[in-house]
A = this chain, B = another copy of it.
Amino acid sequence: MSQPTEINLGVTADLHVHLRDGEMMELITPTVREGGVSIAYVMPNLVPPITKIDQVIRYKKNLELLAPKTTFLMTFYLSRDLTPELVEKAAILKVIKGIKCYPAGVTTNSSAGVDPNDFSDFYPIFKIMEKYNLILNLHGEKPSTNHDDIHHNNSHDDNEHIHILNAEESFLPALFKLHQDFPNLKIVLEHCTTKAAINAIEKINSKNVAATITAHHLYLTIDNWSGNPVNFCKPVAKLPSDKSALINAAISGKPFFFFGSDSAPHPLSKKSTHVNVCAGVYTQNNAISYLAEIFQNFDALDKLKNFVNDFGKNFYNINDSDEIIKSKDTVILYQEKNQVPQLIKNDLIGDESLVVAPFKAGEELNWNVKWRAS
């Protein structure tokens, strides 16, 4: 079918972003808008993690100074530092929109996370979240049990072990249980990567349980990140059938699948290393354009606005007329050759070590974005 050359995507939302702090924050925060995103849901995995009201207020203010037209929705980091009272206060003050749950040790700055085998200690917090319509954002992986164990690892059953390929699927029973125990709690399974996860969300089929899908997981499989640390992230990109399931979900028009880029910048030096590569793919500065490429290839450009605007905002109960929306400018997607830069850097900051290699660096995309004043 003939492709439109310009699409108005409205006030877009990326419901999973990592903006870091310090100089990295200064470098990355303006690229949210460059990439065609108006509303950004900001992850709390700083060092130390965000668990205090003054901390989240200060962080948001810093972000707004760097990108005054971008709307930042803020989160707490689920940990034992949180109390039901604190969460209730934060909800009443409207300083957070949700709480992010990291299983301990699965990804960047997750060492303060929780044990996904037993959430019951946090049930008082979930009760408060349900009451105040706060979102529970799940990093849906069980921690690997599979590191450097040369003594007691002589097993023939892979299900005895959690490894990076079954870590997400192994987490799904915990998702079912949470939804069963808190049917009115809004839960997002973040950056899902498997056919099994897509099937789980469809099976639950609730207005209260959704999944975000990144841009890079629509492109990558295991072959693409093995040997290419720039494409390495957690959860890792998996098999061709998983990628297909994600693409089909993204273009399905089903309201429980929407966009969360999980754009996760790391200094190049933390990616160009032979040990302990940081997990994360940076996609922020071309977030919408990466998606447009895939949606076009599958003749689904007409579904893109749902994915990057309506579905996520409906789930988060955000309205364009809300006072929290900083700018009503709309994003126009248009056809234009658009070369991804080799590196994201800020000549003003002057720190040459602070450069980030973006996803598909140097490659040419067919779509670009511009802003139309409201």
* A residues in contact (CB < 8 Å) with B: 144, 146-148, 150-151, 153-158, 160-161, 163-165, 195, 218-219, 221-230, 232, 236, 239-241, 243-245, 247-248, 268, 271-279, 293-294, 297-298, 357
11 A-B pairs (CB sep. < 8 Å)? A146-B240, A147-B224, A148-B219, A148-B224, A151-B297, A154-B247, A227-B229, A227-B232, A227-B277, A228-B274, A272-B273
Q: Is the CB of B274 within 8 A of A244?
A: no
Given A228-B275, A274-B357: A158 in contact with B241 (beta carbons within 8 A): yes
Q: Is the CB of A226 within 8 A of B164?
A: yes
Selected contact of A165 from candidates B160, B222, B229, B243, CB within 8 Å: B222
Q: Interface residues of A: mostly helix, strand, loop or mixed?
A: loop
* Best-surrounded residue of A164, A243, A274 (most CB of chain B within 10 A): A274
Q: Please give the distance in Å from A50's CB to the nearest CB on chain B.
A: 25
Given A146-B223, A272-B272: A153 in contact with B243 (beta carbons within 8 A): yes
Q: Is the CB of A223 within 8 A of B275?
A: no
- The count of identical subunits is 2
Q: Is the CB of B293 within 8 A of A165?
A: no
Complex alpha-carbon distance, A158 and B268, angstroms: 33
Complex alpha-carbon distance, A226 and B224, angstroms: 12
Contacts of A357 in B (CB 8 A): 274-275
Q: Chain B: which residue is nearest A270 at the CB level?
A: B274
